[in-house]
Homo-oligomer: A and B are copies of this chain.
């Protein structure tokens, strides 16, 4: 393999000069630069990035920590995160931590050792680590340990969604969603739900537990079993929404006639066949992903970043008035 040494010899310059050209540093005369570039070309020199990483203590790799990559929201945001990183010369390492909790901790160790330059968390990370915020980490939709995070306006959007259910004529509205172990922006959805129910003096029916992705079914079944006559439901997450669709099909519950559904996510829903029959809060997934990357890269460069970045979500719904009529 041809190294920087060979290039220097061929061009008749010092090692440092070649390095400077390679790194596009200023302070190299146009002439020698051309000379070096020419040597690089004729010799077919390829920079050894392993050596560069070693010296610079940076890998140009960012890790994404999700519970499971095999999930519509996570894989979609992963797509945009990777794209944004790629544009900035970084690669994306993905780790699904649900299979083994220790993977989160292991990844943090890797970051501290500079094996990865930074981490984007979309997990229920639960290790207390006061100094974590000093490292290049950013979190999506959850906040912990003073780590900067980006999120959609969970509370406000949820209020809109729940009010819509009320105006559509629902009187027995439930909330269902997975619970996170740490303070999470996702919990704002439940808080908004409760607030709206209280405002309209409607009963608060909450089905919310700490569960793993892929294990939502029992919760959904319990919801229906325990709440006959339920006419509206605010669902946190598409995975659960799809299970609700299944349940309704099997039990001849007509959507939206018997039950009105509002889903928070709208990632998978869009291509589903019930698209005109449910309403949903659509997360700005692409923006969330790209913004998370931007914040992280800033932190990697040592720049200041805001603790909280909030992006607007969009409420998508069918005609509430006719829905109310149908519902009666």
Q: Which residues of A contact B (CB under 8 A)?
A: 46, 48-51, 53-54, 57, 59, 61, 63, 68-72, 74-76, 78-79, 82-83, 86, 91-96, 99-100, 103, 110, 113-115, 242-243, 245-246, 248-249, 271-273, 275
Contact = CB atoms under 8 A, between A and B. Distances in A.
Contacts of A71: 75
A15 B157 CA distance: 60
Contact of A273 (B68, B113, B115, B245): B245
Contacts of A54: 50-51, 53-54
A113 B53 CA distance: 13
Given A69-B69, A246-B273, A271-B246, A78 B94 contact: yes
| Interface pairs A-B: 6 shortest CB-CB | A75-B75, A54-B54, A70-B79, A249-B273, A70-B76, A50-B54
Contact of A242 (B57, B63, B272): B272
Nearest to A1: B113
A86 B78 contact: no
A91 B95 contact: yes
B113 A49 contact: yes
B91 A92 contact: no
A265 B83 CA distance: 26
A241 to B, nearest CB: 11
Given A242-B272, A246-B273, A79 B96 contact: yes
Nearest to A86: B103
Given A82-B95, A92-B93, 6 more contacts: A50-B59, A86-B100, A91-B93, A242-B273, A248-B273, A249-B273
A35 to B, nearest CB: 24
Contacts of A115: 49-50
A120 to B, nearest CB: 13
9 contacts: A50-B59, A69-B82, A74-B75, A92-B93, A92-B95, A93-B93, A242-B271, A246-B272, A246-B273
B79 A69 contact: yes
Highest count of chain B CB atoms <10 Å: which of A74, A99, A245, A273: A273
Contacts of A50: 50, 53-54, 57, 59, 114-115
Contacts of A72: 70
Contacts of A69: 69, 75, 78-79, 82
A75 to B, nearest CB: 4
Given A54-B54, A59-B50, A246-B271, A79 B86 contact: no
A164 to B, nearest CB: 23
Contacts of A79: 68-70, 96
A115 B54 CA distance: 12
A49 B113 CA distance: 8
A105 to B, nearest CB: 13
